[in-house]
Amino acid sequence: MAYEGILLGMGNPLLDISAVVDEDFLKKYGIKLNDAILAEDKHLPMYEEMTKKYEVEYIAGGATQNSIRVAQWMLQIPGATSYMGCIGKDKFGEEMKKNSKLAGVNVHYYEDGTAPTGTCAVCVVGGERSLVANLSAANCYKSEHLNKPENWALVEKAKYFYVAGFFLTVSPESIQLVAEHAAAKNNVFMMNLSAPFICEFFRDVQEKALPYMDYVFGNETEARTFSKVHGWETDNVEEIALKISQWPKASGTHKRITVITQGADPVVVAEDGKVKKFPVILLPKEKLVDTNGAGDAFVGGFLSQLVQEKPIEECVRAGCYAANVIIQRSGCTYPEKPGFN
Express each pLDDT in 201-225 by its tens digit.
999 999 999 999 999 999 999 999 9
DSSP code of residue 279: P
Top CATH class, 7-13+61-117+136-327 = alpha beta
Number of other residues whose CB lies within 10 A of the CB of residue 200: 13
Tell me, what's the pLDDT at 315?
98
Tell me, what's the pLDDT at 333?
85
User: In angstroms, rounded to a whole number, what is the distance separating the alpha carbons of residues 313 and 315?
Assistant: 5
Residues with catalytic roles: 296
Tens digits of residue pLDDT in 90-145: 988 998 998 888 899 999 999 999 999 999 999 999 888 899 999 999 999 999 99
Residue 19: helix, strand or coil by DSSP? strand
Distance of CA 227 to the CA centre of its chain: 20
User: Is the pLDDT reported for residue 330 higher than 90?
Assistant: no
Distance of CA 3 to the CA centre of its chain: 21
User: In angstroms, rounded to a whole number, what is the distance separating the alpha carbons of residues 76 and 3?
Assistant: 11
Arithmetic mean of pLDDT, 298-325: 97
Tell me, what's the pLDDT at 1?
64
User: Is the pLDDT reported for residue 50 higher than 70?
Assistant: yes
Angle at alpha carbon of residue 89, lines to 86 and 90, rounded to 5°: 115
- pLDDT-based confidence at 312, cuts 50/70/90? very high
Compute the Cα dihedral for 41, 47, 52, 55 and give only its sign: positive
Tens digits of residue pLDDT in 264-291: 999 999 999 999 999 999 999 899 888 8
Closest CA to 122 of 216, 15, 212: 15
User: Is the pLDDT reported for residue 199 higher than 80?
Assistant: yes
Tens digits of residue pLDDT in 222-262: 999 999 999 999 999 999 999 999 999 998 889 999 999 99
Angle at alpha carbon of residue 12, lines to 244 and 35, rounded to 5°: 60
Tell me, what's the pLDDT at 75?
97
Instruction: Give the H/E segment covering residue 246.
Output: none
Tens digits of residue pLDDT in 130-176: 999 999 999 999 999 999 999 999 999 999 999 999 999 999 999 99
User: Is the pLDDT reported for residue 325 higher than 90?
Assistant: yes
Per-domain residue ranges for the chain? 7-13+61-117+136-327
